[in-house]
Amino acid sequence: MSATELPPDTADGEAITDDTRPACVMVFNSNDPCGAGGLAADVSATASVGAHALPVVCGSYLRDSAQVFDYVAFDDDCVSEQARGVLEDITVQVIKVGFAGSLDNLGAIASLAGDYNQVPVIAYMPDLSWWEQSKIELYHDAFQELVLPLTTVLVGNHSTLWRWLLVDWEGDAPPTARDIAKAAAEHGVPYTLATGIPLPGQHVDNVLASPQTVLASEKFELFEGTFAGAGDTLSGALAALLASGSDLVTAFSEALHYLDRSLDGGFRPGMGHILPDRLFWAQPDDEDDASDESNDDAPQAPSAIVEAMALPPHDTKH
C-alpha cells in the first residue's frame, strides 16, 4: 500500500458504511474548565444521544463551579481554520453555535455556516449576566445580525430571550413563547425553543414555537438547587438528535427528557453550583450495587478473579 492510500474502515472485519456511522455535529463553543457547560456539555450530551461531536474551541471561560471570573477569546482565524479543516474532511449534519466569545468569532462562524447553508444551525444564547453590559449589548447585536439569519432553531431561557429580543416589551404579562418566536422570526429564525417559563406550583414550561403556532410543550417540576450547564446540555442534545434523523418535535421532547434525567442525577463537584450528570445512563443501578455488596465476602476461585480483572463489554450506550 502506498503512502497516499488509506486503509478501508473496518469493524469486526466488515466495512463501515455511512449508515452505521454516527451523525456528526459541529459545535462552536467555549471551553468550560469546570465541565459545567460549554464544549464539555456539548461533547458529552452529543455522545449520550448517539451522535459524534466536532468541537471547535472559540475561547475559554475563566471560572469555577460557582461563577465566571473572565473570558479569553481565540482569534477568529484560529476558529475558522479549526472548522474549515474538519468541514473539508467530514460531512456534518448539524451545526450548533454556543458562546463564541467575540464579535469577530461570530463573523467567522456566520461565514462558515453561510458556505454550508444546507446544514441546519441550532443556536443557543446563554445567560451573559456575568459579562460587562457594553459587551453583552454588542454581542447580542452581532448575533442578531450575523447568526440569526442562518439559524434553524434558536434555544434559550425565556427570560434571556425576552430581555434580548423584546427589550421594549410593554405588556402587563410576560411575553409568550410565540411572542418571542415572532421576534426571532423578524431576524430569519423559523423555530424558537424557550425554556424555563414560570408556572404555578414550582413548575416550568418549555415551549417549541414558530411565529404561527406552538408546536410542542413540556412541563417539568423545578429541582431544588442552582444548576450550571443546563442550556448547553439541552441544545447539544437537541442538535445531536436532529442530526441523527429525529423530527423537530420528537427531538424537542427527547432532549428535554434527557436534560430532566441529567438534572435529576445532578452532582456538586465543588463548592458552587450543581452540574448535570449527562452520563447518568452509565451509572450502575442500585440493584447491581446491592448484589455486588452482598457477594463482597464470598471466596472467589482463581478463574473468577481473572475474569473480574478483564474489562467489561461496553453496553452503556444511551
Burial of 131 (0-12, 13-18, 19+ CB in 10 A): middle
pLDDT, tens digit (0-9, with 9 covering 90-100), for 141-156: 999 999 999 999 999 9
Task: Report yes or no on whether pTM surpasses 0.95.
Answer: no
**Alpha helical stretches, state H, 89-176:** 103-115, 133-142, 158-165
**Alpha helical stretches, state H, the chain:** 38-48, 76-87, 103-115, 133-142, 158-165, 177-185, 230-243, 248-264, 286-294, 302-309
What pLDDT does residue 78 have?
Answer: 97
pLDDT, tens digit (0-9, with 9 covering 90-100), for 59-72: 999 999 999 999 99
- Report which residue type is found at 211: P
| Residue ranges in the chain modelled with pLDDT below 70 | 1-19, 286-318
Instruction: Count helices and strands (H / E) in the chain.
Output: 10, 11
What pLDDT does residue 225 have?
Answer: 82
Tell me the CA distances in angstroms from 58 to 23, 46, 73, 213, one per residue in order. Answer: 22, 18, 6, 35
What pLDDT does residue 286 have?
Answer: 63
Q: How many CA atoms lie within 13 A of 273 on its CB side?
A: 20
What pLDDT does residue 12 have?
Answer: 45
Asked if 232 and 98 touch (Cβ cutoff 8 Å), the reply is yes
What pLDDT does residue 38 have?
Answer: 95
For 162, phi and psi rounded to 5 degrees?
-60, -50
